[in-house]
Chains A and B, each alone.
Chain A
Amino acid sequence: MSLLSKKITELQERTQHALQGGGDKAIAKQIAMGKLPARERIRKLLDEGTFYEYDLFIQHDAREFGMEKKDLAGDGVVIGTGKINGQPVAVYAQDFTVAGGSLGSMHARKITKIMDYALKLRIPLIGINDSGGARIQEGVNSLAGYGEIFFRNTLNSGVIPQISVILGPCAGGAVYSPALTDYVFVVDKISKMFITGPEVIKSVLGEEIDMESLGGARVHCETTGNAHFFAESEEECFSQIKTLLSYLPANNNALPQEKKPAQPLKKYNIVKTVPADPTEPYDVRNVIRALVDNSDFFEVQEMWAKNIVIGYGRIEGRTVGFIANQPLYLAGVLDCDSSDKAARFIRFCDAFNIPIVTLEDMPGYLPGVDQEHAGVIRHGAKLLYAYSEATVPKITVILRKAYGGGYIAMNSRHLRADFVFAWPTAEIAVMGPQGAANIIFRKEIMEAEDPEAMRKAKVAEYKEKFANPYVAASKGYIDSVINPADTRQFILQSLDVSQHKNAGMPKKKHGIPPF
């Protein structure tokens, strides 16, 4: 055997050994838990044959508590680059089969290395989290590792899209990396996220709760809003990631890939979807589907704050971010959660050159002590801030109700919307006709022989005069009153003429959004 062959054989043996991860037993255990091994996950996520792994031979550097005798393959994390939809991405996946995917200093160094690559190469970063948490034997070095990761999440924010995939436990400080990234994907019964687990909660506070109810996938999609996408299986989750990335650019200086333009499907009829009576509900997602290519609307955070809908679609092949009040839930009101949800989405779209289309139909802010005490003022301000700050093309279509503070907040002309259109059914007014008539005509109503009849007459009078789009149109607050059937056409031409938009912000280090 030649010397070269010997060397190559040695390389192959070392590689084989490292690729075993935690060994057959640990891998069998992982599979028994319904989870895929780390490299298998990467293979399923990336385009076939595109993955190149780095730092396979990394060794941990713990020298205490007998750790120096332990061999941890790759130190429990897999890093590399590959492609999704033909576009380059950087990826890491924690390997639960190696010391429970626990994070020590070298493990962290591998993650920060691929994060630095992603930033330098200006490509999206995908992190697959499946870890028992800090490697206690490594003490403060493990904490340092987390800190280095969080710091890079923050540096990368707004430069490259960052995606977190929770495919196992992600507990304690570890949760802050996903929280700092743009999109969090979870899988039913597999994902678990919490700061303190059920045992600590029980011992410190005496509250008993199981892991799933505390921080399972459903909880984070429905209740906390920490996660953005819910999947039944790891495969479904990977397919969601691919779909999301198809709408996004590689970085903040790039544009999303264009797709072949297509018409919306005929079954989504915009005119028939929206009832003219402003108190009747409908599913605003069907309005979006009637506007976008192939009626493909990819919704973000569909299970949380359902009274506002956010997500991506394409118009003539180009990515558009949609924000729409959802009359099907809570009459489409704005509240703490819906403002929070929409504001973050706006900031993402703005950072990544994605035009924003706003579909407005809401009666105002949700009344209630719980809302006021939960800080609806501060949360609501996020929406104003995000819309005002955004410099990507911003188009608003007012379908029906645009009352009061909500009218201002939903990308009004006054927050520097580029184009504002209204349907003939739009009611742009300081408040709903009932409330306004009760205040303005209070005296007339009180003094009338039949107050109820007078109230009705005055409401009708107010409705006739003010609950329409023409008062706002007469002031130039909206650009055109349009036939609902022409909505796609109007959005398309607005996007077309906005391609070279250049709207600046005053020079500053950064603003101070109300978060």
Chain B
Amino acid sequence: MIMAEVKNKNPEVPEIQEEMHVISEISDAVEFLAPQVGKSKMRLSEGGMEYKTFFTKKFEERKTWKAPDPYKVLSHIPGSVIEIFVKPGQKVKKGDKLMVYEAMKMMNVVTSPMDGTIKEVNAKEGESLPKGALLVTFKKK
């Protein structure tokens, strides 16, 4: 018998009422409640051991890691673009000024990470941007 009293704080946890479940019913309860929390199973990389379990909110919302693209210059902090010094097609050297980017009351100078050619300037002067926004794209070598 699956008794799933829904509590406010922990809606997904099967609450034990009166009698304890026998072992097989506990696992059934977990399977049964699974749709409420999405996937009920997780796979650990330890040679394919698979554990039946709930995910936490944080785990479900985690970001999958992507290798950074070396040809893209991203904002390192939320802020505003004050002045842009480069144009598409322009050749720059590593360390050359690309733009002034204001964040936390500081005028940060964004410099070129490499010797190369600007493919595209993605940011506009005066624009407010979040962290990780695309500022400048380089031509692939």
Using CB atoms and an 8 Å cutoff, list the residues of chain A in contact with chain B.
204-207, 222-223, 230, 232, 267-269, 272-273, 275-276, 279-283, 286, 302-303, 305-307, 327-333, 337, 363-364, 366-370, 373, 403, 431-438
Contact = CB atoms under 8 A, between A and B. Distances in A.
A223 B59 CA distance: 11
Contact of A432 (B16, B49, B52, B58): B49
A329 B65 contact: no
Contacts of B51: 279, 281, 327, 331, 363
A272 B23 contact: yes
Nearest to B61: A223
Contacts of A368: 62
A377 B80 CA distance: 35
B26 A232 contact: no
A433 B47 CA distance: 8
Contacts of B49: 279, 363, 432-435
A280 B54 CA distance: 11
Contacts of A403: 46
Interface string B80-108: 10000000000000000000000110000
9 contacts: A204-B104, A230-B9, A305-B56, A327-B51, A329-B54, A329-B55, A330-B53, A367-B45, A438-B47
Nearest to A232: B8
B20 A435 contact: no
B78 interface: yes
A305 to B, nearest CB: 7
Which 6 interchain pairs have the tightest Cβ spacing? A434-B47, A435-B47, A331-B51, A205-B78, A369-B65, A435-B46
Contacts of A364: 44, 46
B128 interface: yes
B106 to A, nearest CB: 11
Nearest to B80: A206
Nearest to A403: B46
A302 B30 CA distance: 19
Contact of A280 (B14, B27, B59, B80): B27
A331 B27 contact: no
The secondary structure that dominates the B interface is loop
Given A286-B16, A306-B56, A363 B10 contact: no
Contact of A303 (B9, B30, B45, B129): B9
Nearest to B17: A267
A48 B80 CA distance: 57
A342 to B, nearest CB: 15
Contacts of A204: 78, 103-104
Interface in B1-28: 8-10, 13-14, 16, 18-23, 26-27
B54 A275 contact: no
Interface hub of B26, B51, B104 (most chain A Cβ within 10 A): B51
Nearest to B46: A435
Contacts of B10: 302-303
B78 A207 contact: yes
A281 B46 contact: no
Contacts of A222: 57
Contacts of B55: 329-330
Interface string B94-129: 000000000110000000000000000000000011
B77 to A, nearest CB: 8
A306 B37 CA distance: 14
Contacts of B30: 281, 328
Contacts of A272: 20-23
A167 to B, nearest CB: 19
Nearest to A369: B65
A466 B50 CA distance: 19
Contacts of B45: 367
A98 B18 CA distance: 50
A204 B106 CA distance: 11
B126 to A, nearest CB: 12
A168 B46 CA distance: 46
B63 interface: yes
Nearest to A290: B20
Contact of B16 (A232, A283, A435, A438): A283
A449 to B, nearest CB: 21
Nearest to A282: B26
A434 B52 contact: no
A433 B79 CA distance: 51
Nearest to B50: A279
A204 to B, nearest CB: 7
Contacts of A268: 16, 20
